[in-house]
Every structure is written in structure tokens, then in C-alpha cells.
Amino acid sequence: MSSLKRFCYGLAAVAGLSLLAMSATAQQQQPLSISVKQLADNVYVAEGGGGNTGIIIGANGVIIVDAKVSPEAGKAVLAEVAKLTPKSVTHVILTHSDGDHVNGLAAFPAGLTIIAHENNKKEQEAALAAGARNAPPADRLPTQLVTRNKENLTLDGVKLELLHWAPAHTSGDLVVYLPAQKIVFTGDIIATNRPAPLIHLEKNGSSAGWITTGKGIAALDATQFVPGHGDVQTKQEIQERVASAEKARATIASMVKEGKSLDQIKTAMGDTPPSPGGPNFASFTEVVYKELAKK
């Protein structure tokens, strides 16, 4: 990779993490509350303190899916794990590189196997190299990389499929599928705290890739879909969300072809300004417009 490309990658990561910084700071200022819900005999979800965290209890250890927003939240997850089992956390799987899913790793013990998509690690390394605010812990970067679209793993007796269809929320998304339990951890590809998909263009996410990925998630033989934020979803809810996004993208694409401006399209799509003091993420409309208007 050329120096220019590395520099651009670093700037992109800085921009993405800066967008998350206000959200992460606001979450840390709120009283920390972690709520654990059981999904199967050995599978739980911990809500609060950042993105949703999966807790999977294996034969001899515990597998965590995403590590929350801060060391404090990471400690809270470990405390909840200790209430469920005396077994130690041995593996962490990261669904993507956003700080509210990664930064809690600072509280986790050293020597863990941290699994992530190869682009996830690149994004974290670029953020660290650029000195980005809210950068991930330097000593908790991924140690095992996923380089293919599908990897079948058995960790501590638990069968998992790690899936990556295309860049979607970010370029380094991973979906964690437990076929025996029919449970899927989607990361922020699905996040019910927003009405439409959140795409980080600065991390090379893609609205077309999001739809491809959403369809792939919906096609899995599963009954419980754990989003990156929000309540557990059904297959029908996932299907409806994907269909809505696909319809919206087609409508935006048609208006772009007609030569309408971004402001005109945002008005037609009913976009509303971001809440004062909240994170100013690009809307789905803006993302699709920027992708298509430059072609």
C-alpha cells in the first residue's frame, strides 16, 4: 500500500471515530446499567454500556461477541459473566471496529484470542496511527483474522460461522451465526435505535453491500437475531428492514438519475435533522446519494 493510501485510510478512520466520540462520551456519562438476557442454554446477550454483547459459554471457557464502549463497561460485562459461570473468557469476536463495540477490551485480561475481519484490524491500526480520539486499546488489537467470506469454527465445543458478504456498515463487518442455537449476532448491520441502516462511508461501508448482507442474514436458519443496538429481532423483522432499505435505495437512485439535488432528495425521503448534541451521522439518504452521484 502506498504512503498516500495509508494516509487516506488513516484520515478516514479518524473521521469515523470522531463521529463516534460524542456518542461514546455521552454513553459513558450516563449511569452504567448492564442487563443480561438468556437466549439459549449457553447463550446470553448483555445490553447497555455500548453495543450489545454476546456471552457464549463453552465447555471450558467463555466466548464474548463485542466488548462495549469503555473499560468500565468491559468490567461490568466480566462481572456479569462471573455471575453465570466460573469459567474464564478465552475468546472475543468483534463484529466491527466502532469504539462502542471495541474499547471495553481494555478491561479484559491479556492473552485472549481476539477474532476480527482483516479490515477491522486495518481500521483500528489506522485510527491508532493517526492518534484518533476514542482510538481502540493498542494492546488489544485482533490476534486472529478472518480473510474469507465464511469461516466455520469450533471454539471450546461451540460451532460458529463467521460471515462477511460485503462491506456494509463498515468494510470489516463480521456476522456471528450459531447454527445449533439458531442465533445470529449482526453487529451494527442491524441496529434498531435508528430507523434506517447506518453506513460509515469513511470506513468504506456500502449501501449496496448492506442490502446484500441484510439479505444474507435474513436467509440464515435462525430464530433470534441480536442487533448491535436494541432488542432481539425475529426473521420477519429482519426481512422487513431489508425490504424497506432496498425500496428506499431504489427510490433515491431514481431521483439521483433525474438530477435532483441532495436537499431535494432528503426532503422527499423525509429526512430529519440530527438531535441537538447527538452524533451527526450521515443519513442513509446522504450515503446513497454520495455513492451514486459520483458515478
CATH number of the domain enclosing 23: 3.60.15.10
State how beta strands 183-191 and 224-229 pair: parallel
Gap between the Cα atoms of 224 and 214, Å rounded: 14
Q: Comparing C-alpha atoms, which of 220, 282, 280, 208 is closest to residue 248?
A: 208
Going by C-beta distance under 8 Å and a sequence separation of 6 or more, which residues neighbour residue 235? 218, 222, 223, 225
pLDDT at 274 (0 to 100): 77
Please check the confidence at residue 26 and state whether its pLDDT lies above 90: no
Domain that holds residue 201: 3-293
pLDDT at 207 (0 to 100): 98
Give me the amino acid identity at 216.
G
Q: Which tens digits make up the pLDDT trace of 133-143?
A: 777 889 999 99
pLDDT at 137 (0 to 100): 86
Gap between the Cα atoms of 52 and 35, Å rounded: 10
